[in-house]
Each structure stands twice: as structure tokens, then as C-alpha cells.
């Protein structure tokens, strides 16, 4: 069963990652994509592409029948599910196999075995893998505290509650049960000991169809935000050899217990030298590149090989390689960490990671690897996960890898959409993280205002503002129909500085014969050429890069990135937003309208409901009054700032 | 004099110039500016800064008008050329901080000059109006000649040269005809006041009781009389509307923008090291020219091609480009104009007319040569030929006084009376019928001769006093501030800005078509 044409039932960077290996192996590739992804880079990366009409995951990447139909129509003989979407759907795997296609993944039986947490834990405990004891909520005593109340079905942190005092237990169980019932339709909850400062350590395994399971090293993914991994590394730092060996052995045992075939990850909670089985992911992980870097392996190639029936003994005759050096991966999300990680949408007007030595592949020597689903010009929507790219640094030591990654990220050009880049740079230089002491809840208590700061303090802002104002003035001069050769803002009688107003600061400057200076004369512009502006302040020259996209001025320098938005000089009074307008807080679609024009509403009353990123947002009346107009209907897609309705306040 | 000493002397003069410009910019002073701002209003230069395109240049004209008179320097109005929505426009703005923006005789002359520039170069005019009318104590010098303002407005319109009035405040009595005769009128709500007669005068005339808003408010004019085409919410809005009006004028320049060019071979900055502030010290105008004209680039292999270099060497003539636009240059080299120089100039001016090339006159002349030999050699008829050519030439002329401009040399070199499109002065320049010492000396010789002919004793002491008095008077009157105050130039400029100023002027000139002439007065052979 040699695979000749492989369909990736996924999108974004993981689709591109799999395509890359297919190209290396000589396998033809098929992409499936939604309407929203029609112009996404991954759709163009494959030899063939099949449209799954629609935008939502349910209509597209989660629709097993349509994905399968696409495989049949495109002549694919194998399906790689990537991660997320249908990757852990045993029913889908069965359907793939039933249709005579090769499923790049474990057997449906193995997937079933690991599908529910409670069942998986029981199975592992039986096989001798350490698990956290399951406690009956009714039998908990003071000595068991703290405990975690968990929903039996479901995941993603919903229905979870930590209890530190006996007095809170009953209420926590009641609330968790209610939440579980409404979220998953199953009110069953259980308790387990709560490990307060645990680390998330996982082990990569690979099984073949002949009963062999190899351990390909471990990873630390402790740095998480809201149960989503942010930084991952291999090998896990600061673990005693004996503990590491025990972890690897436990993972192998887990894999062997269910006859695992393909790449999988066994996740553990590490508490000092003790560890407990958390769950097993029966698929390729997002963070697999760090393992690839330090082992030199191509995990996707190995997945394909074992799916084709090859034996581990032939694939890795010398056994799994020892890790060489250290690799760290960060996930670049289009989100605003300072605003509760709110997902961002828009066009990525520029994207460039400097010093990249390999894409979707291991660097030949220590260097930077980029696995990106986006490129300059890519539209980032809100239908899918906000992760835009993964940047991986591989270095001889952990310290060198961290420093290199922080440096590359700091110099990364990413424009048009807000990202967590500054947070990542700060975390990579964070003393707790660099000491290898970050635990899974480290970010929960962190001051994000501090952690998302870049170099643009008050003075940095002044410098960047002047650079942006000057670049803007030069651009205007060059596109003026007349007097293009006359120095910008030249005056024979100088009476006042020029004023350039941005969203977050106003820059006052002078132009003229001697070039540009700040209004106070402290900052001098040494050079302006295309998008490069060199400033001099206090004897220090500072280069800035300013790229202009309409009103947006994207400033980059060693201080980081600063997006500035030019404010219009004039506002047409007729175009001003009427008072009482309800504006869309984020892009999304209108799912309900609860009022109509003429209705009397009270402050806080829900006027309409938006859905964005699978979350519903109530848009409420700002004050008591009468609805003057509803500007949208159910189903309408809106952008952030669109007027949804107007409420006339009671006098 | 060393370069450093020259630079220092010139910088001292430029500092004086800055101080005089600051007086003009201060308008009616801090107190009145604060009161004006307190009413939520913008100062005239703030209005202009908002009106012109962001980062564009603004060439203020006649900033020192009224210097040395009893009126505030600047003559209570700001005039200049700015770029609005990519269109070069003449902009005038009353300064309401100076006696409520009332017009005095200098205000009129400054506005007339602005209107002349708009006419000659085919530019739209934007008037930012807020004026209390005429300065009554000088009404006899204003009322009758002032009618020309309104005549010029409607004639501009007739020439299809757009006129736009943005009314920010008072524009009453005669002033009401500025919006009345403009193509487009914008009035600011609750600020503009446009009527022939205010409530007291109406009461006197007809007994009718009324108020400002009813007689001439913006709202009334926009909704009832139709005098206002647009009602602006506030000053910013008026400027926004004004810009939109210009954007829709569909203006096209007569000549296309020139292609690329290089900056001068020598940096203009070094002009300060070269120019002696003592006019007796000669300097080579070629050193000035290479610092003003385009450097070497494709299509401009030589920065300055000198014409007839071996003939009449006291006047340098030749071809160059400024900001990509061709220009013929006439520059005095040794001060004195002889017959050869005059003939060379007359020929060169005719050549420029043959090729439709604008001309630049760089003045540094003490006049035409005198003496029996030169009179007999025909210096008058040769000088006349030069003046004939200058007067009848129809290509655009620019003049810059870079040194002396004395006697008939001022005429031959295209002085103010010869209507160059623009004329600017360097701070070291001087202009008079002749040098102060010569003039005083002439007077002394004449009175000595008169005394002798009448057989009277000559009072040497009184003569010395007279000479010193005349000398200092003429010296003072020939200084640039005085000349600029009387609108004998369009402004005093920093020598280092000369290239920029000329670049703007040549661009502005391209707004309207021009063609060289073949018709001159009779050349006496």
C-alpha cells in the first residue's frame, strides 16, 4: 500500500507542513479548503485543491462526509488529518479505512481507548502508569485538599474548579456540575488531587503496525495561557535522568497497552519528581517541530512510513536518536494578550521572520525554522484558530536557543494584525521561564500589561512617532502632483511646527531646508529613504523602518513594532457616528436581534447578539432610551466598529 | 574677508530678518491672539496651515509689507502661495488680531499684489475672510483705490480663474462683496457676519430693528439669501469644505511636471561663505549659479551652459535648469554694465523668447557705465535696447537682488517696475538710484557749483553735514526691509532658500501658458 496521493484534511501551517514532507517523498498532494481559505497559502501549496463550500468548521473541515468525498473525487489514496478538526475522530478514521484509503494515524480502536479521560486514566492505571487518584466528591477530607473538580466529559477547562477549603467544596461541585450539564449534556463530575505548580511534560512516541513502540524524546509545554500552549521545548529542561527514564518508560507502556500505531503524545503532569498521566493525544502535535529539530527526524515521514506498513526496526535501525542541542517553539497568535487574548482579524500586510534557515523542515545546522500558515497579504479571519505561525529556534544549549529565538522574534516584521509577539519576546527573556521554573498556571497570575510591553516607552514613542510622521510627509511629497522636489513643509516665514496626529500621539515637527527635526529640536532626522528613517538623538543614531498602508504606519526598530494609525485631519460632520450608536466590538456575525426600531430599552438590555470565535457577545443598550434604528439583520457579517443599532437616550 | 566672516555677517543679517518676520507673525500681539483663540478661533497662519496639503510648502508673499510705516508689519493680512489638493493657489488671510483685521493702505497694496500674481500665473484664489473693513483714519487712501479688489475678483472669475471665499467672521459693508463676488462661498456657523449695514446703521437708515444673525448670519445666507454656498459647522469644517471645492475645480497645469533632475553640484548652504555683505567686494555669479541650478543628470549633462562668455564679460548669460525646468540666466559679474553687456543681454533675452524659456535676473549692478568714452560709444542706445528687450519679452521673468541694484541697471535687469513674475531680495542687497556716497557727492558738487556761479562762499561745514545726512538717509532707504516694506519685492529670502523659492515660482508659472514674443520696440541701431 504505497501512498501516491495524499489529502490533508486540515488547513494552515500543518497542511503546509505535511505537503512539504510529501514533496520530499515524491507523493502528490491534495488540499481541502473552505471559502474563507480560498486564498490561503496552504490551498495553493498542494497539487490539487478541493473547495469545501462554507466558512464555519462544521460546514467544512469538520464535515467528515465532505472531506471523504473530496478525497474520492481528487483520487487521493491517503488522508492525513493534521491536528484538531477530525484528527481524533475515530468514526472518521473508520470511514477513511472503509473507503479503502490509508489513514495516517492510529487505529480507530486506539483512538477510542484514549477518547474519554476517565476511561483513559483507568486503562493507564491498569497498565501501571501513574495517574492522579480519582476522588469521590462525597468522600473528600481536609487531607485531600486542594482538589480539582472536573467534568467527566468534555475538556478545554470548562467545568473545572479548584477547591482549597472544605467549606467551598459543595458549592464548587454544584457549579461544576451545572456547567458540565449545560456545556456537555452530562452533569457527572469527579475530583482529583490538585497539583498546584505542576509542569506539563509530554513524551513523543511512535508505534508501528508490528507491535513496536519507540520513544522519541520528551517536551516541556508548561507555559500555557488558558490551557493553550504558548512555548514548547525539547528536551524538557531540569529533569533528573531517572525521572526522564521513568517518564519515557511510562509512555512506552501506555503506547504498548493500546497497540499504538503512528505518532502519538503521552502527556504528564510533573510535580517535583512525581508525575501523573494526564491524557494521550492520538495524533501529531502542534509542537512536533522541537522534537524533529533535536532528533533530526521527520515525524510526518515516519507517520507515512508506518502507515505504509514499514517496521520501526527498519526505519530506526539504530534505535531512537539521542537529542542533540535544544529546540524551542513559540506560537505566534493573531490576538491581543492585553485584552484577554481577544482574537484579531485583518490582512497581514507584512510578515518576515529574519534569519529563517528552514521552512517546515529541520535546519541543516543550528538555526531558525519557520512553520507558517500565513504570508504577507494573507487575510486572517475569525472562523478558525488564531495561530498564524510557529517559530522554532534550535541551538546547542537551551540558553542559546532562547536568546536566538527572542532576537529573531524581536526583529520579526508582522504588520496589519495585532499578535502576541511582544508577549513571546518578554517570556523568552523572563527570568522564571529561562530558569526552567515556569508552571502551567504561570501566565494566569502574570501582569500582562508588563509582559506585553515593548521598547516603546514615552521616549520610544516620540522617536517612533517622528519617524512615522517624517516617512508619511516624504510619501505625501513624492506623490504630490506638484512641487515634489521642494523640501517638505518648507516655509520662508516659519511660525509653527507641522502637526501629524496618530491614534496614540501627536507629533510636532519642522521640515524645510535643513531637513526634518522634532519641534523641540532634540531629535534630528539624519536620513529618509524609502521606508528607512534614521534619527539622531543625544548623539545616538537610531534606524527605523516605516511602512505605510493607507492610514496605517507600521514602525519597526530594535524597540519592536509599533502600529500607528493616522487620524484624518478633518471629519465630515455628516459622517460622524451618531451618539448612542452601538458598535460591533469585534468582527463576527449577527446571530440574534432582540429589539426593533421604536422599542423602549433599558440600560444593559441585550439589543442583539454577535458570534465571534465561537463565542457569543451580547451588545447591550448603553442607556435607557428608544431604539432609533437596527442597522443589521441576523446572519450579517460585521467588522469591528460597524454600527449595529442606534439607541436614543431618554432626555 | 574669509568665508567664515562672510557667513557670520550673513547670519547676523538673517537673524535680523527672522526678528522682523517674527513681528509680522505676531500680528496684533499676544493679548489679541489670546482673545481670538479664546473665542475658539484659529489664527490666520493656523488657518493656512490647515488649508494647505500636509507637508507641502507655503511661500509667504510680502511678509514685511508696511515695514517702517505706522501700521503693524505684515499689514494685517497674510498672503502666499500654497498647494491645496495638489493645486497651487494664491491664499490670502485677514489677521483679525490686528485692529480686527481692518485694511490699511498697505493691506490693499499687498492684496493687489497677490491678485496680480494670481492673474499672471492663472491661479485660483482662496480668501480666508475676517476683517472689520477699512481702517477709517486712512479711508481716503483706501476707499477709492480699494474698489479694485472687487473688480479684480470678478475679472478673475471671468478669466475662469476660480475664486473661493471662506468667511470666518466679519465681512461687512464693502467687505461683503468679497463673498459676493467669489465663485464659491463658505460661511462658518455662528461666526460669519456678512451684510451691507449692521443693526445700528439699518436703524438709522430705515428705523428697522434687527440683529446680526438676521442681517448676515451664516445660517441665513446658506438657507435664505443664497449668498453662502456651504454652511460650515466650524472653522475646521470650513477649511475642509474649501479643500473639497479645490479638489473639484478640475485644474490642469499648462505644462507637465518635469522629469527627474539632480541637486546642485555645490550645496546651497555654502552660499553663505561666498557672499560678501559689503557690496564693494565683487563676487563671481557663477559661484551662485552652480549653487542654485540643477546638477548633472541624464538630459542635463552640464549644469550651466554659458552664452557668449568672451563678449561683455561683466554680464554672465547662459542656460540651466532649476528643478528640471529650463531657464535662461542673466547675472551681473563686475557691477558695471557696458555697451557690450547691454547688447549681449538684448540678444540673450530675444533668444529666450525664441525658445519660450523663462529668464532669471540675478542683480548685482551699480548701473550703466558713464563717461565721455561710453556716452560716445552709445551706452544710452545700447542700454535702451536692453530695456526694450526686457520690457517687451513675454516669457516669465524672475528677479533676485543678490547684491547691488542701482540706477538704470535696476531697470535693465528687470527691476520691480518691469513686472517680473516674482522678485525676491537677499538680506545683503541694496537698491537706489545710485550709491549713497555718490548721491551725496553729486549733491555737494552741484551746490558747490551753484555757490561758485553766484559768487557766494561755500559753507564746507554745512556741506559735510548735508552729505552725511543724505548719505545715511539714502543708505537707510536702500536697505531691503524698507524696499520690502514698500512692496518693491515679494519678500526677503535666505540665500540658501533661493533654489527652493525659484523652484516654487517656476512650478507656479507653469500653471498658465506662456509664449515668447517676436515683437519689440524699435531697436536703435
DSSP state of B258: P
How far A477 CA lies from chain B's nearest CA (Å)? 7
Residue B107 scores a pLDDT above 60: yes
In this predicted structure, what is the pLDDT of residue A61? 96
In this predicted structure, what is the pLDDT of residue A157? 57
Taking the CB of residue B468, how many other CB atoms lie within 10 A of it? Answer: 11
Interface with chain A: mutation pick from B57, B235, B493, highest number of A CBs within 10 Å: B57
Q: What is the H or E stretch that residue A79 is in?
A: strand A78-80
DSSP state of B217: B
Q: How far is CA B407 from the centre of its chain?
A: 21
Residues of B with CB under 8 A from a CB of A: 21, 24-25, 45-46, 49-50, 53-60, 63, 83, 86-88, 233, 236-237, 239-240, 243, 253, 257, 261, 268, 323-324, 491, 493-494, 496-497, 500-501, 503-504, 507
The 10s digit of each residue's pLDDT in A325-356 is 999 999 999 999 988 888 999 999 999 999 99
At B277, list the grid cell.
Answer: 555683505
How far A296 CA lies from chain B's nearest CA (Å)? 55
Contact B117, B154 (CB under 8 A): no
In this predicted structure, what is the pLDDT of residue A183? 66
Could you tell me whether strands A335-336 and A342-343 are parallel, antiparallel, or unpaired per DSSP bridges? antiparallel
Interface with chain B: mutation pick from A483, A501, A507, A575, highest number of B CBs within 10 Å: A483
Q: CA A391 to CA A402: how far, in whole Å? A: 11
Beta-carbon contacts of A518 under 8 Å, excluding residues fewer than 6 positions away, are: A462, A466, A507, A508, A509, A524
Contacts of B323 in chain A (CB under 8 A): 485-486
Beta-carbon contacts of A98 under 8 Å, excluding residues fewer than 6 positions away, are: none
DSSP state of A8: E
Q: How far is CA B36 from CA B28, B132, B169, B235, in A?
A: 10, 14, 11, 13
Which 3 state secondary structure label does DSSP give A134?
coil
pTM beyond 0.95: no
Q: CA B445 to CA A573: how far, in whole Å? A: 74
Taking the CB of residue B1, how many other CB atoms lie within 10 A of it? Answer: 11
Residue A91 scores a pLDDT above 90: yes
The 10s digit of each residue's pLDDT in A217-242 is 999 999 998 778 999 999 999 999 99
DSSP state of B437: H
Q: What is the H or E stretch that residue B132 is in?
A: none
Contact A476, B52 (CB under 8 A): no
B493 and A492 within 8 Å at the Cβ level: the answer is yes
Q: Residues of A414-432 as b/e, b for ≥16 C-beta within 10 angstroms?
A: bbbbbbbbbbbbbbbebee
At B41, list the grid cell.
Answer: 478661533
The 10s digit of each residue's pLDDT in B467-499 is 999 999 888 888 899 999 999 999 999 999 999
Interface with chain B: mutation pick from A478, A480, A482, highest number of B CBs within 10 Å: A482
Q: Quick one: pLDDT band at residue B205, thresholds 50, 70, 90?
A: confident
- Using the Cβ of A431 and the Cβ atoms of chain B, whether some distance falls under 8 Å is answered with no
Query: Looking at the partner chain, which of B53, B240, B491 has a beta carbon nearest the beta carbon of A570?
Result: B240
Q: Quick one: pLDDT band at residue B84, thresholds 50, 70, 90?
A: very high
Greatest mean pLDDT among A138-152, A380-394, A573-587: A380-394
Question: Higher model confidence: residue A372 or residue A338?
Answer: A372
In this predicted structure, what is the pLDDT of residue A536? 97
- Using the Cβ of A472 and the Cβ atoms of chain B, whether some distance falls under 8 Å is answered with yes
Which 3 state secondary structure label does DSSP give B72?
coil
Average pLDDT score over chain B: 95
Query: Is ipTM over 0.85?
Result: yes
Tell me if the bond preceding B339 is cis, omega within 30° of 0: no
In this predicted structure, what is the pLDDT of residue B512? 97
Beta-carbon contacts of A585 under 8 Å, excluding residues fewer than 6 positions away, are: A610, A617, A619, A640
Query: Looking at the partner chain, which of A482, A492, A511 has a beta carbon nearest the beta carbon of B55?
Result: A511
A496 and B58 within 8 Å at the Cβ level: the answer is no
Contact B301, B320 (CB under 8 A): no
Q: Quick one: pLDDT band at residue A160, thresholds 50, 70, 90?
A: confident
Interface with chain B: mutation pick from A492, A494, A498, A525, highest number of B CBs within 10 Å: A492
Residue B52: name the closest of A506, A498, A565 by CA: A498
Residue A482: name the closest of B505, B515, B239, B300 by CA: B505
Size of interface A-B (CB pairs under 8 A): 100
Q: Quick one: pLDDT band at residue A154, thresholds 50, 70, 90?
A: low
Contacts of B33 in chain A (CB under 8 A): none
- Using the Cβ of A490 and the Cβ atoms of chain B, whether some distance falls under 8 Å is answered with yes
* DSSP-assigned states of every residue in B18-66: HHHHHHHHHTT-HHHHHHHHHTTPPPHHHHHHHHSPTT--EEEESTTTT
Could you tell me which chain B residue has the CA closest to the CA of A495?
B25
Q: What φ, ψ does residue A518 adopt, rounded to 5°?
A: -70, 155
How far A567 CA lies from chain B's nearest CA (Å)? 12
Contacts of A571 in chain B (CB under 8 A): 240
Which residues lie across from B71 on neighbouring strands?
none
In this predicted structure, what is the pLDDT of residue A153? 61
How far A481 CA lies from chain B's nearest CA (Å)? 6
Q: Quick one: pLDDT band at residue B253, thresholds 50, 70, 90?
A: very high
The 10s digit of each residue's pLDDT in A559-606 is 999 999 999 999 888 776 666 778 887 788 888 888 888 888 888 888
At B240, list the grid cell.
Answer: 475642509
Contact A622, A582 (CB under 8 A): yes
Average pLDDT over residues B25-35: 94
Q: CA A56 to CA A612: how far, in whole Å? A: 11
- Using the Cβ of A481 and the Cβ atoms of chain B, whether some distance falls under 8 Å is answered with yes
In this predicted structure, what is the pLDDT of residue A578? 62
Counting runs of H as helices and runs of E as strands, what totals does chain A give?
Answer: 16, 39
The 10s digit of each residue's pLDDT in B299-312 is 999 999 999 999 99
How far B114 CA lies from chain A's nearest CA (Å)? 16
Please, what sign has the CA dihedral across residues B212, B214, B219, B224? negative
Could you tell me which chain B residue has the CA closest to the CA of A574?
B233
In this predicted structure, what is the pLDDT of residue B172? 86
The 10s digit of each residue's pLDDT in A448-478 is 888 999 889 999 999 999 999 999 999 999 9
Interface with chain B: mutation pick from A476, A493, A515, highest number of B CBs within 10 Å: A493
Residue B198 scores a pLDDT above 90: no
A480 and B57 within 8 Å at the Cβ level: the answer is no
In this predicted structure, what is the pLDDT of residue A393? 98
The 10s digit of each residue's pLDDT in A45-79 is 999 999 999 999 999 999 999 999 999 999 999 99
- Using the Cβ of A473 and the Cβ atoms of chain B, whether some distance falls under 8 Å is answered with yes
How far B181 CA lies from chain A's nearest CA (Å)? 27
Q: CA A49 to CA A15: how far, in whole Å? A: 12
* DSSP-assigned states of every residue in B169-210: EEE-GGGGHHHHHSSEEEEETTT-B--SS-HHHHHHHH----
How far A598 CA lies from chain B's nearest CA (Å)? 30
Q: What φ, ψ does residue A238 adopt, rounded to 5°?
A: 65, 40
Q: What is the H or E stretch that residue B502 is in?
A: helix B498-509
The 10s digit of each residue's pLDDT in B52-64 is 999 999 999 999 9
Residue A278: name the closest of A184, A155, A385, A186 by CA: A155
User: Rounded to a whole number, what is the largest CA-CA distance in chain B?
Assistant: 83
Least confident of A617-631, B228-242, B442-456: A617-631
Q: CA B123 to CA B114: how far, in whole Å? A: 10
B54 and A498 within 8 Å at the Cβ level: the answer is yes
B503 and A573 within 8 Å at the Cβ level: the answer is no
In this predicted structure, what is the pLDDT of residue A638? 84
| Residues, chain A | 651
In this predicted structure, what is the pLDDT of residue A184? 65
At A262, list the grid cell.
Answer: 503512528
Average pLDDT score over chain A: 91
Could you tell me which chain A residue has the CA closest to the CA of B263?
A485
Q: CA B510 to CA B256: how far, in whole Å? A: 8
B83 and A476 within 8 Å at the Cβ level: the answer is no
In this predicted structure, what is the pLDDT of residue A159? 65
- Using the Cβ of A576 and the Cβ atoms of chain B, whether some distance falls under 8 Å is answered with no
Q: Quick one: pLDDT band at residue B430, thresholds 50, 70, 90?
A: very high
Average pLDDT over residues A417-439: 93
DSSP state of B167: E
How far B245 CA lies from chain A's nearest CA (Å)? 14
Q: Quick one: pLDDT band at residue A146, thresholds 50, 70, 90?
A: confident
Alpha-carbon dihedral of residues B292, B297, B303, B305, nearest 10 degrees?
A: -140
Amino acid at each position: 500500500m504505497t501512498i501516491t496521493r495524499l489529502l490533508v484534511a486540515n488547513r494552515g501551517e500543518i497542511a503546509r507542513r505535511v505537503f512539504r514532507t510529501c514533496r520530499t517523498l515524491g507523493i502528490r498532494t491534495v488540499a481541502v479548503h473552505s471559502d474563507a481559505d480560498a486564498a490561503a497559502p496552504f490551498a495553493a501549496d498542494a497539487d490539487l485543491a478541493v473547495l469545501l463550500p462554507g466558512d464555519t468548521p462544521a460546514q467544512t473541515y469538520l464535515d467528515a462526509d465532505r472531506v471523504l468525498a473530496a478525497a474520492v473525487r481528487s483520487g487521493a489514496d491517503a488522508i492525513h488529518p493534521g491536528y484538531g478538526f477530525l484528527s481524533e475522530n475515530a468514526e472518521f478514521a473508520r470511514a477513511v479505512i472503509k473507503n479503502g484509503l490509508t489513514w495516517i494515524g492510529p487505529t480507530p480502536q486506539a483512538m477510542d481507548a484514549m477518547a474519554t479521560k476517565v476511561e483513559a486514566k483507568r486503562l493507564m492505571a491498569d497498565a501501571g502508569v501513574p495517574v492522579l487518584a480519582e476522588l469521590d466528591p462525597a468522600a473528600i477530607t481536609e487531607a485531600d485538599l486542594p482538589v480539582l473538580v472536573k467534568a467527566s466529559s468534555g475538556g478545554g477547562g470548562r467545568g473545572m474548579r479548584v477547591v482549597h477549603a472544605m467549606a467551598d467544596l459543595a458549592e464548587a461541585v454544584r457549579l461544576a456540575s451545572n456547567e458540565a450539564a449545560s456545556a456537555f449534556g452530562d452533569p457527572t463530575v469527579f475530583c482529583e488531587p490538585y497539583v498546584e505548580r505542576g509542569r506539563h511534560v509530554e513524551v513523543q512516541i511512535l508505534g508501528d503496525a508490528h507491535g513496536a513502540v519507540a520513544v522519541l524524546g520528551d517536551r516541556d509545554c508548561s507555559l500555557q495561557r488558558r490551557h493553550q500552549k504558548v512555548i514548547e521545548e525539547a528536551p524538557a529542561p531540569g529533569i533528573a535522568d531517572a525521572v526522564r527514564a521513568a517518564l519515557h518508560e511510562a509512555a512506552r507502556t501506555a503506547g504498548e497497552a493500546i497497540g499504538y500505531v503512528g505518532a502519538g503524545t503521552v502527556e504528564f503532569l510533573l510535580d517535583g519528581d512525581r508525575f501523573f498521566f494526564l491524557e494521550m493525544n492520538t495524533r501529531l502535535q502542534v509542537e512536533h517541530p522541537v522534537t524533529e529539530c533535536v532528533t533530526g527526524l521527520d515525524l510526518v515521514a515516519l507517520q507515512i512510513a508506518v502507515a505504509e506498513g514499514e517496521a520501526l526496526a527498519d526505519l530506526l535501525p539504530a534505535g531512537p536518536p539521542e537529542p542533540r542541542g535544544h529546540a524551542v517553539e513559540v506560537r505566534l497568535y493573531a490576538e491581543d494578550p492585553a485584552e484577554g487574548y481577544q482574537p484579531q482579524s485583518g490582512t497581514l500586510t507584512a510578515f518576515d521572520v529574519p534569519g529563517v534557515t528552514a521552512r517546515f523542515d529541520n535546519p541543516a545546522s543550528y538555526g531558525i525554522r519557520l512553520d507558517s500558515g500565513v504570508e504577507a497579504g494573507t487575510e486572517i479571519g475569525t472562523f478558525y484558530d488564531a495561530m498564524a505561525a510557529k517559530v522554532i529556534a534550535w541551538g546547542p544549549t537551551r540558553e542559546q536557543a532562547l536568546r536566538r529565538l527572542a532576537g529573531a522574534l524581536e526583529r520579526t516584521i508582522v504588520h496589519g494584525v495585532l499578535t502576541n509577539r511582544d508577549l513571546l519576546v518578554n517570556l523568552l527573556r523572563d527570568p522564571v521561564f529561562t530558569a526552567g521554573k515556569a508552571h502551567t498556571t504561570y501566565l494566569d497570575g502574570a501582569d500582562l500589561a508588563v509582559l506585553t510591553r515593548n521598547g516603546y516607552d514615552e521616549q520610544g514613542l516620540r522617536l517612533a512617532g517622528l519617524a512615522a510622521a517624517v516617512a508619511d510627509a516624504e510619501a505625501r511629497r513624492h506623490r504630490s502632483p506638484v512641487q515634489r522636489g521642494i523640501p517638505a513643509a518648507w516655509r520662508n516665514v516659519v511660525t509653527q511646527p507641522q502637526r501629524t496626529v496618530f491614534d496614540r500621539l501627536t507629533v510636532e515637527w519642522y521640515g524645510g531646508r535643513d531637513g526634518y527635526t522634532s519641534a523641540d529640536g532634540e531629535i534630528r532626522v539624519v536620513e529618509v529613504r524609502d521606508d528607512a528613517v534614521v534619527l539622531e538623538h543625544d548623539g545616538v543614531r537610531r534606524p527605523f523602518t516605516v511602512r505605510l498602508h493607507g492610514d496605517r504606519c507600521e514602525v519597526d526598530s530594535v524597540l519592536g513594532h509599533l502600529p500607528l494609525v493616522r487620524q484624518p485631519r478633518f471629519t465630515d460632520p455628516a459622517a460622524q457616528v451618531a451618539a448612542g450608536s452601538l458598535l460591533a466590538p469585534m468582527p463576527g456575525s449577527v446571530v440574534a436581534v432582540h429589539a426593533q426600531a421604536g422599542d423602549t430599552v433599558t440600560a444593559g438590555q441585550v439589543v442583539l447578539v454577535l458570534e465571534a470565535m465561537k463565542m457569543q457577545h451580547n451588545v447591550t443598550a448603553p442607556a435607557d432610551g428608544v431604539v432609533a434604528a437596527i442597522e443589521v439583520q441576523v446572519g450579517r457579517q460585521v467588522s469591528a466598529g460597524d454600527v449595529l443599532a442606534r439607541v436614543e437616550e431618554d432626555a | 574677508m574669509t568665508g567664515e566672516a562672510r557667513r557670520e555677517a550673513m547670519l547676523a543679517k538673517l537673524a535680523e530678518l527672522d526678528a522682523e518676520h517674527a513681528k509680522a507673525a505676531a500680528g496684533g500681539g499676544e493679548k489679541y491672539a489670546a482673545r481670538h483663540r479664546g473665542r475658539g478661533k484659529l489664527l490666520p497662519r493656523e488657518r493656512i496651515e490647515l488649508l494647505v496639503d500636509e507637508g507641502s510648502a507655503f511661500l509667504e508673499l510680502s511678509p514685511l509689507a508696511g515695514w517702517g510705516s505706522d501700521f503693524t508689519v505684515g499689514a494685517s493680512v497674510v498672503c502666499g502661495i500654497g498647494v491645496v489638493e495638489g493645486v497651487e493657489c494664491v491664499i490670502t488671510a485677514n489677521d483679525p488680531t490686528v485692529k480686527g483685521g481692518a485694511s490699511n493702505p498697505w493691506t490693499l497694496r499687498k492684496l493687489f499684489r497677490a491678485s496680480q500674481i494670481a492673474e499672471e500665473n492663472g491661479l485660483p484664489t482662496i480668501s480666508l475672510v475676517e476683517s472689520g473693513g477699512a481702517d477709517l483714519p486712512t479711508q481716503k487712501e483706501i476707499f477709492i483705490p480699494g474698489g479694485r479688489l472687487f473688480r479684480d475678483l470678478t475679472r478673475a472669475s471671468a478669466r475662469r480663474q476660480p475664486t473661493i471665499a471662506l468667511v470666518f467672521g466679519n465681512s461687512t459693508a464693502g467687505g461683503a462683496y468679497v463673498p459676493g463676488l467669489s465663485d464659491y462661498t463658505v460661511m462658518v456657523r455662528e461666526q460669519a457676519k456678512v451684510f451691507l449695514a449692521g443693526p445700528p446703521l439699518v436703524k438709522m437708515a430705515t428705523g428697522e430693528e434687527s440683529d446680526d444673525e438676521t442681517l448676515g448670519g451664516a445660517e441665513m445666507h446658506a438657507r435664505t439669501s443664497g449668498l453662502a454656498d456651504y454652511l460650515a459647522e466650524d472653522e475646521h469644517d470650513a477649511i475642509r469644505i474649501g479643500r473639497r471645492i479645490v479638489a473639484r475645480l478640475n485644474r490642469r497645469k499648462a505644462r507637465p511636471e518635469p522629469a527627474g533632475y539632480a541637486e546642485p553640484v555645490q550645496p546651497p548652504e555654502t552660499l553663505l561663505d561666498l557672499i560678501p555683505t559689503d557690496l564693494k567686494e565683487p563676487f563671481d555669479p557663477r559661484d551662485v549659479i552652480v549653487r542654485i541650478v540643477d546638477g548633472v543628470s541624464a538630459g542635463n549633462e552640464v549644469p550651466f551652459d554659458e552664452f557668449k562668455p568672451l563678449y561683455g564679460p561683466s554680464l554672465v548669460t547662459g542656460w540651466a535648469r532649476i528643478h528640471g525646468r529650463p531657464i535662461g540666466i542673466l547675472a551681473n559679474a563686475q557691477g558695471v554694465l557696458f555697451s557690450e553687456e547691454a547688447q549681449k543681454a538684448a540678444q540673450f533675452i530675444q533668444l529666450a523668447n525664441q525658445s519660450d524659456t523663462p529668464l532669471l535676473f540675478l542683480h548685482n549692478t551699480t548701473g550703466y557705465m558713464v563717461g565721455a568714452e561710453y556716452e560716445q560709444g552709445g551706452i544710452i542706445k545700447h542700454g535702451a535696447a536692453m530695456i526694450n528687450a526686457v520690457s517687451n519679452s513675454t516669457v516669465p521673468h524672475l528677479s533676485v537682488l543678490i547684491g547691488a541694484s542701482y540706477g538704470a541697471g535696476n531697470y535693465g535687469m528687470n527691476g520691480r517696475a518691469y513686472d517680473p513674475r516674482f522678485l525676491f531680495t537677499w538680506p545683503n542687497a541694496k537698491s537706489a538710484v545710485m550709491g549713497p556716497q555718490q548721491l551725496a557727492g553729486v549733491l555737494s558738487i552741484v551746490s558747490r557749483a551753484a555757490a561758485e556761479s553766484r559768487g557766494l562762499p561755500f559753507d564746507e561745514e554745512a556741506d559735510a553735514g548735508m552729505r552725511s545726512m543724505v548719505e545715511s538717509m539714502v543708505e537707510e532707504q536702500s536697505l531691503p526691509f524698507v524696499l520690502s516694506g514698500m512692496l518693491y519685492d515679494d519678500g526677503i529670502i535666505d540665500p540658501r532658500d533661493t533654489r527652493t523659492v525659484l523652484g516654487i515660482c517656476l512650478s507656479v508659472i507653469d500653471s498658465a501658458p506662456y509664449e515668447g514674443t517676436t515683437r519689440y520696440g524699435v531697436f536703435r541701431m
